[in-house]
Each structure stands twice: as structure tokens, then as C-alpha cells.
Chains A and B, each alone.
Chain A
Amino acid sequence: MHELSVAHAVVSTVVDALPTPDTRVLQVRLRVGELSGLVPQALEFAYDVAAQGTPLEDAALVIERSPVIIDCPSCGHQELSSTHDFRCPVCAQPCGNVVGGKELEIVDITLDELVTTP
């Protein structure tokens, strides 16, 4: 259950990026890889707690999942549909070379530039 510390990191990173401290944030968009070890539902819950009393208080959290990407040495296939079977779904070659799916990233934030928090 480290979602709360991740949620706090989201809030502090966004607050640091605001043009003024009282800018209201309308939406925060995250990219969370299937291999990141984070549970989106738990992150949403933790985010609601972490955002309280900050410019993100009313901001919607949008979580985009990114799939596991491998680099199959045999056929070049890239996307895995499973997180617990690292064989190429096309040619069954075992693929340990993960090149994507561990992302934990704030993609963008949507700001309301006219309304400021009280």
C-alpha cells in the first residue's frame, strides 16, 4: 500500500509546477504502467486524501494504463497482453527484455487560470 506516498508525490510535483501557488488544477493525467506495481483504484482513493487542502482538491484524476512492451528477439512483436507470462504472444519466445510498462508519470495537468483558490 504505497499508493498514498505516490499520491503525495503527485500532489507535490504538480504544486511545484504551478505558475502561481493559487492556480486551480482541473485535471491531472497520469500514465501508470502495468508493471509499475500500482493499483489504480487504490491510487484514486489515496489521491483524494492527498489532494485535500491543496490546489488539486477538485482536480479530476485520469489514470491511463500503459501495457507491457517487450522487444521479441525472434519476431519483433512488442505488446504483451499479460503481466504474468513473458512469452511473446506471437511466436512464444521467452522475452526478458522489458522496454515499457513500468511508467509512473504525470503526463499533463489542466489548469483554470482565472479562478484562484480562496
Chain B
Amino acid sequence: MTTRIVDLRKGILEKNDLLAQGLRAQFADADVHVSNWVSSPGSGKTALLETLLTTAIARGVAAAALVGDCATDNDAKRLERSGAPVRQIVTESMCHLESDMIATYLEGWDLDALDLLVIENVGNLVCPTAYDLGEGTRVALLSVTEGEDKPAKYPQLFNSADVVVITKTDIAGAVEWDRDAAIAAIRAVNPGAPIVETSARTGDGVLDLLDLLLASTPITPSPQLQEAP
């Protein structure tokens, strides 16, 4: 038997990553600030996004959203109330969004007319970590009802975030939220990311988050592509 070892040195998700890089270039050309929101189900992504989009539209920011869920267009219907264009990506039980879905669902939208695009990922703290969607800012959300040590339990995701958002702060007292412990847990896995404390109900922190998303476009190419010559 003759065997031969062939060096491949190929990123497993190279197809996704290359497409994401193309999207990132398109977003930069169109000067649109794109964020990818990732959290566990029920952490309040959609409620916060609804408030954020409403605030953005009221301030004259051309905002739009893509929302991913395994089934139903419930979230898109909710978000449309903000007046922003919204499209629902139904993943048919797939646990995360991939860059080809973003490319498909953006078809027909004039990116040049947008200032802000929010991609709400499928609620999942594991799988979305590995998939670059071409975003400028990855936002990880943590609600006060989830437990302060969530970042320690899902370090990969919280480490990959450019911004960490705490949600539902209006009920922090009722659930005995230990703010210092939560911030320490976030800092242990992600020492540098800005932390924004928000409440979709009261609007606290929403303007701060909006300003942060509009101000920053950190470019974070995937590790495989960084290593490429």
C-alpha cells in the first residue's frame, strides 16, 4: 500500500469566511454599520432590538434588521412595528446563521441607503461563535435573569464579542442580580469589550448602545484568513 500525506492547511469554514469577508467589504463600501447579536434564547434580544430600532428611526438613522429563528416570523412582525425594514431568516432548525444566508436575505436591499444593520442571530451561546457573518461588531447579550456566571460557562462566545450588553436591568432587583459579580465574570473572559447596561422597557442604555454601534466598525477577520499570506 502506498500512502501519501497531503498538506491542506485549509480552514474548515473557509467558504463561510470568504463570503463573510466579501460582505464585510460591501458593508464598508456602503458605509453601513453592521452588528451580529448573539445570546441565549429569551435573553431579550428582540425586545431590546425593537426599542433600539425605534430610537434609531426617531433620530433619523436609517436602520434595518435581519432576524434569525428556527421557525416562525414572529420576531420580524414584532420588529416591523419600529418602522424599520426587517426580514426574517427561518433556519429550519439550524442552530446558527451563516454568511450565505445573510447574502441571500440582503438581496434587493440598497445598502447605500442604510446606516445601521442589525443581524439578530439564532438564540444559542455555542454555535454562532464559529461563524463570521461579515459584521463589524459582534454583540453578546446577557440578561439579569440568566445568572451572573453565564460568561464563565460560555467563554468562547463572550470572548469573541466586541461589545457585551446586559439586558432587563429594570428587573435586576427582583432577581437579586449581582452586578459586580456579573461584570467580573465578563471581564474574566473579555477584559476589553465595552459593557452596556440596558432596559428595553425603560430605554436605559439604548442610546449608549446605538451610539456605540454607529461609532465603531472594528474589523475582526477570522483567524484562518489572518494567517493567510
List A residues at the B interface (Cβ < 8 Å): 1-2, 5-6, 9-10, 13-14, 17, 26, 30, 33, 35-38, 83-87, 94-98, 100, 102-115
B155 beta carbon closer than 8 Å to chain A: yes
- Are B2 and A5 in contact, CB atoms less than 8 angstroms apart? no
CB <8 Å contact, B1 and A100: no
A105 touches which of B4, B10, B191 (Cβ 8 Å): B10
Assess whether A95 is in contact with B191, with CB atoms less than 8 Å apart: yes
* Chain B 111-152 interface mask (CB, 8 Å, partner A; 1/0): 000000000000000110111000000000000000000011
Known interface pairs A104-B224, A113-B2; A94-B191 also in contact (CB < 8 Å): yes
* Docked-complex contact A108 and B189, CB < 8 angstroms: no
Complex Cα spacing A84 to B185, Å: 9
Cβ distance B34 to chain A, nearest Cβ, rounded Å: 20
For B13, list chain A residues within 8 Å (CB). Answer: 6, 9, 104
B7 within 8 A of A: yes
B214 an interface residue at 8 Å Cβ cutoff?
Answer: no
The answer to whether A96 and B6 touch (CB under 8 A), given A35-B156, A103-B224, A105-B12, is no
Residues of the B chain whose Cβ atoms lie less than 8 Å from the Cβ of A85: 188-189
Do residues B3 and A104 form an inter-chain contact, with CB atoms below 8 A?
no
Q: Does B212 contact A (CB under 8 A)?
A: no
Q: Are A104 and B152 in contact (CB under 8 A)?
A: no
The contact sample of 9 A-B pairs, CB cut-off 8 A, is: A13-B14, A35-B155, A35-B159, A37-B129, A84-B152, A97-B192, A105-B9, A110-B3, A111-B4
Residue of A37, A96, A109, A112 near B193 (CB, 8 A) is A96
B-side residues, CB < 8 A to A, are: 1-15, 94-96, 126-127, 129-131, 151-153, 155-157, 159-160, 187-193, 222-224
Task: Give the residue of A1, A13, A96, A109 whose beta carbon is less than 8 angstroms from that of B12.
Answer: A13
Residues of A within 8 A of B7 (CB): 107-108
Q: Taking the nearest CB of chain B, how far is it from the CB of A29, in angstroms?
A: 9
- CB-based contact A114/B96 at 8 Å: no
Known: A2-B96, A108-B7. A9 touches B15 (CB 8 A): yes
- 4 nearest CB pairs, A to B: A94-B191, A96-B192, A37-B129, A2-B127
Residues of chain B lying within 8 A (CB to CB) of residue A86 = 159, 188-191
* A109–B6 touching, CB < 8 Å: yes
The interface residues of chain B lying within 8 Å CB-to-CB of A94 are 187, 191-192
Known contacts A1-B95, A37-B127, A98-B159; A17/B8 CB under 8 A: yes
Q: When chains A and B are docked, how far (Å) is the Cα of A115 from the Cα of B4?
A: 12
Assess the B159–A110 pair: CB atoms within 8 A: no
Q: What separation, in Å, do the CA atoms of A98 and B189 have in the docked complex?
A: 11
Known: A84-B155, A104-B224, A114-B2. A13 touches B189 (CB 8 A): no
**Nearest chain A CB to B4 CB, angstrom units:** 5
Q: Is the CB of A107 within 8 A of B4?
A: no
Contact B12 A2 (CB under 8 A): no
Q: Given A106-B10, A109-B5, A2–B95 Cβ distance below 8 Å?
A: yes
Q: Is the CB of A84 within 8 A of B12?
A: no
Which chain B positions have C-beta within 8 A of A95?
A: 191
